[in-house]
Amino acid sequence: MKFLASRLTIGNMAIGAMVIILALLPVAGVPREWLPYVFLFLLYLAMANMWNLLAGYSGLISLCAPAFLGIAGYALAIGTWVSIPWWLGIIGGAILAGIFAILISLPIFRLSGVYFAIGTLVVPEALRIVFLLWRPVGGELHGGGAGYMIKGLVDVQMSTIYWLALGTAIASAVIMRIVLKSKLGLGLAAIRDNERAAANSGVNTLRIKVYSFLISAVITGLAGAVFYVYQGYLEPVSTFNVKWTMTILLATVIGGLRTEGGPIIGTIIIVFLYFLLARYAGYSLLIQGVIVIIIMLLSPQGIVGIMRNTRLYQSLSQLANRQLMAFKTE
Q: How do residues 257-277 score in pLDDT, each as one tens digit?
A: 888 888 999 999 889 888 877
How far apart are the C-alpha atoms of 24 and 28, rounded to whole Å?
6
Q: How many domains does the chain have?
A: 1
What pLDDT is recorded for position 46?
96
Contact call for residues 303 and 297 (beta carbons, < 8 A): no
In this prediction, residue 50 has a pLDDT band, given cuts at 50, 70 and 90, of very high
CB environment 159-188: b (16+ within 10 A), e (fewer): eebbbbbbebbbbbbebbeebeeeebbebb
Assigned domain for 275 exists:
no
How far apart are the C-alpha atoms of 256 and 261, rounded to whole Å?
7
In sequence order, the 6+-apart residues with CB closer than 8 A to the CB of 315 are none
Assigned domain for 259 exists:
no
pLDDT top residue among 233 and 2:
233
Assigned domain for 140 exists:
yes
Assigned domain for 124 exists:
yes
Distances (CA, A) of 63 to 32, 83, 118, 210, 235: 34, 33, 8, 15, 20
What pLDDT is recorded for position 145?
59
What pLDDT is recorded for position 58?
86
- Residue 165: give the domain boundaries: 35-241
pLDDT at 227 over 90: yes
In this prediction, residue 325 has a pLDDT band, given cuts at 50, 70 and 90, of low
Contacts 24+ apart (CB under 8 A), 270-275: 270/44, 271/37, 271/40, 271/41, 271/44, 274/40, 274/247, 275/37
Assigned domain for 214 exists:
yes
What pLDDT is recorded for position 141?
44
Assigned domain for 70 exists:
yes
Whether the full predicted model's pTM is greater than 0.85, yes or no, is yes
What's the mean pLDDT when you consider all of the chain?
84
Assigned domain for 40 exists:
yes
What pLDDT is recorded for position 175?
95
Assigned domain for 163 exists:
yes
Contact call for residues 44 and 168 (beta carbons, < 8 A): no
Q: Which of 105, 74, 101, 87 is nearest to 216 (CA)?
A: 101
How far apart are the C-alpha atoms of 236 and 243, rounded to whole Å?
13
